[in-house]
Amino acid sequence: MRVFRIALWKYGATARDALNGQSGFLAAGRWHTPGRYLDYAAESWSLATLERLVHYKRFDCLAPHVIYAVEIPAAQIETVLAIPPGWDGDDPLPAAQAIGNAWCDQGRSPALQVRSAVTPGEHNLMLNTRHPAWDWKWVVSGPNKFEFDARLVELMKKAP
């Protein structure tokens, strides 16, 4: 499965910088709590864009960005099938975070496919590049310059 990760240039000059897990270690996500070296990637370029925008402050979309494509073998991806009610609320649900925490803490696979709350029916992958089965050869492109469409930038400038 090909997935895409957008990163600020200052944190993504190399694949090892962009996928070092610091973002997951420092901050909670919908599917994990802090303290775990994880990164999120999206199953499409457009979903990666939307996921990035919903987490940004107005000024972040103006900074230089890069995008990476990562090709994860299907055998290395676990999929979350049992979704707890309310997983897609405005605030992260502890039951959903527990699913990602258990996957990471047990070292079950290098990637976990989870649902996107931003775009129903689409998915993100949580990536654990510290897993023993991770292979940096899976990073098939990047860093490539990424810019948000000017119309989206204008919308972000107007956001409160």
Per-residue pLDDT of 25-37, as tens digits, reads 999 999 999 999 9
Sort strands 77-79 and 111-115 into parallel, antiparallel or unpaired: parallel
104 has pLDDT over 60: yes
- Rounded distance, CA 6 to CA 154, Å? 19
* pLDDT of the residue at 58: 52
CA 101 to chain centre: 15
Q: Which residues pair with 32 in a beta bridge?
A: 29
117 has pLDDT over 90: yes
* pLDDT of the residue at 158: 67
The pTM for the full model equals: 0.91
57 has pLDDT over 70: no
Range of 84's domain? 2-158
Mean pLDDT of 124-152: 94
* pLDDT of the residue at 146: 94
Confidence of residue 61 (pLDDT cuts 50, 70, 90): low
* pLDDT of the residue at 110: 98
* pLDDT of the residue at 92: 84
For the chain, how many structural domains are there in total? 1
CB atoms < 10 A from the CB of 26, how many? 10
* pLDDT of the residue at 53: 84
60 has pLDDT over 80: no
Mean pLDDT of 15-41: 95
Confidence of residue 159 (pLDDT cuts 50, 70, 90): low
